[in-house]
Chains A and B, each alone.
Chain A
Amino acid sequence: MGPILFCVFAVLLISSALGVIVNRSPVRSALSLVVTLFLLAVIFLFLDAQLVAALQVVVYAGAIMVLFLFVIMLLNVQEDRQIMTRLGMRAGAAIIGALFLLGAIRLLIHAPSAAGGGMTGATPAGFGSTERLAEVLFTRYLLPFEVTSVLLLVAIIGAVVLAKRSLE
């Protein structure tokens, strides 16, 4: 039951991610990315990460992608006439892609497979819930949390300054 469901969602995820890079129309690419993010949120639910899944939908699919769509609509981005503009690029892309994929898989599979509690072991109570995340976030990671808030402030100011029409 578990592996079948995982395979179904993995296939959907890979096809929507491919849809992002292959579509000629930027609006359809953006919508493919929204679907990808949503499917990833579902996979986070498989991995007992409920708060992160909810945040994925609220922040990524609900805010960042809306921003992307706004920009695409505001700039009235047209469809690309062809997605690869240089000769020999298809072969190059395939080779680089294959090499990269093999390298990434080799690096990741050497991760300890049976370390820690393992995928089949029962997790501590409330794993992935808001309370557990808050416990770790506001104690051990308090400094990065505060720095991140400053980072967001800087980003807001930067975005407003950059996108204003004129500064006078």
Chain B
Amino acid sequence: MQSRSEQHHGERDTEQTLGASPAVKRRVVRMWTEAGIAAIKALPVILMVFSLAGILGWVERKGSALIQDRIGANRASIFGFAGAGLVNTLFADPLKFLTKEDIIPLRADRLLHTLAPCVSLFPVLVTFAVIPFGDVLQVGGRTINLQVAPLGIGVLYVLAMASLAVYGVVLGGWASNDRFSLMGSIRGSAQMVSYEIGMGLSLVSMVMTYGSLDLQEMVRAQGALIGGWIPAWGILYQPVAFLLFLCAGIAESKRVPFDLPEAESELVSGYFTEYSGIKHLMFFMTDFVEVTVVAALVTTIFFGGWQLPYLGRDGFHFPWGASLMLPQVIVAVLQVLTFMAKVFFFCCFQILIRWSLPRFRYDQVMRLGWKGLLPIALLNVLATAVIVLAFQG
């Protein structure tokens, strides 16, 4: 490609492409191969996310029952086997959602009413494209980076998808033609927009610490060892940013204690009151997928992602000198399992927070976002900048 001289006019290049010289053919084949590999990587990620969202529904119901000293869902059973509420949550509830009648309110905008759940679910699912779930997989002479889309601007992509998530809320409330849904949606979107800033600024300090916007680079940098013993996870460098990001993330996904937009005791279901059946299921899924997204991001940026301490690409290298060689495939599997375990831990952590804390009032939410998180995040950025410059100079 570099040998082509600059004098070729645009039209000549088009003809050459359609005529398909061997160099161009190879490029096209390589492009389709890479797209195919990305698609194959995306499939297990999507399956993992959906199954995790389903399991989280069960953890939520049974876990909350445990915390509140009651039994929880246990009525649905197949031939007497109730599976501790699994049959109820994983079979009965989805069946109920899928077979319910789809009601669109009388004067609501039909197109927007159908579009809102899709617009709500799409950005949160697509965020998983940049989250690395493993290091590399060396198979068939090819080194596959275990991240669906190796974007150089990974963190910005996450922020972009977080911004797009507001549309589901905005449209959901508006398209219901219901003043209480509209109130819930305006509160919800104002809250989401306010906490995006805190989230963005806490990520800025992490970007400064690691010097890269690419999430896979950040995770790889956390494989280093401080003093030869302690894994250099993000939380050790930036505990304040971790707290800010966790707080902002929970506020973004409108979970308790920030769930006034969907306060069950006040607004029925807030902005998705007027949705039934599959649309309600999609909004509900968005909630759990957002929990997974926040957990995955916290794991990736602050807790080492897929890094298992002392595990390198070829096996364990313990700091006291011992080492254990493992085939690369086993290492990759271990790393993926580590990632999933950490994500599951943080999902359960968020569910624990939900059932322990009371709900914030709306003005308290706004005050915390603008007068609390924003100044602290800015000071954190300033302090990080000073320290990074001091260590570089």
Contact = CB atoms under 8 A, between A and B. Distances in A.
A112 interface: no
A118 B6 contact: yes
B170 interface: yes
B contacts with A: majority SS: helix
A120 B152 contact: no
A62 B213 CA distance: 19
Nearest to A62: B163
Contacts of B92: none
B164 A61 contact: yes
A69 B116 CA distance: 14
A130 interface: yes
Nearest to B175: A27
Interface stretch (B7-15, B135-143, B234-242): B7-15
Contacts of A1: 17, 28
A66 B156 contact: no
Contact of A121 (B6, B9, B189): B6
B7 A114 contact: yes
Interface string B150-166: 01110011011011101
Contacts of B244: none
A54 B214 CA distance: 13
A51 B4 CA distance: 28
A66 B163 CA distance: 9
B115 to A, nearest CB: 8
Contacts, number: 84
Contact of B6 (A50, A54, A58, A117): A117
A54 B10 contact: no
Interface residues of A, number: 32
B2 A66 contact: no
Contacts of B28: 1
A55 interface: yes
A130 B213 contact: yes
Contact of B186 (A2, A51, A62, A73): A73
Nearest to B193: A66
A63 B193 contact: yes
B109 interface: yes
A120 B8 contact: yes
A87 interface: no
Nearest to B115: A31
B146 interface: no
A130 B17 contact: no
A34 B166 CA distance: 12
A40 to B, nearest CB: 13
Interface string B228-253: 00000000000000000000000000
B167 interface: yes
B195 interface: no
A122 interface: yes
Interface string B313-327: 000000000000000
10 contacts: A27-B109, A27-B112, A50-B152, A54-B156, A73-B173, A113-B9, A118-B6, A120-B8, A129-B152, A130-B213
Interface of B: 1-2, 4, 6-10, 13-14, 17, 28, 109, 111-112, 151-153, 156-157, 159-160, 162-164, 166-167, 170-171, 173-174, 182, 186, 189-190, 193, 213
Please give me the 6 A-B residue pairs with the lowest Cβ-Cβ distance, nearest first.
Answer: A62-B163, A54-B156, A57-B160, A58-B160, A54-B153, A118-B6
Interface of A: 1-3, 25, 27-28, 31, 34, 50-51, 54-55, 57-58, 61-63, 66, 69-70, 73-74, 113-114, 117-122, 129-130
Given A3-B14, A57-B164, 8 more contacts: A3-B17, A57-B163, A70-B189, A73-B186, A114-B9, A117-B6, A130-B152, A130-B213
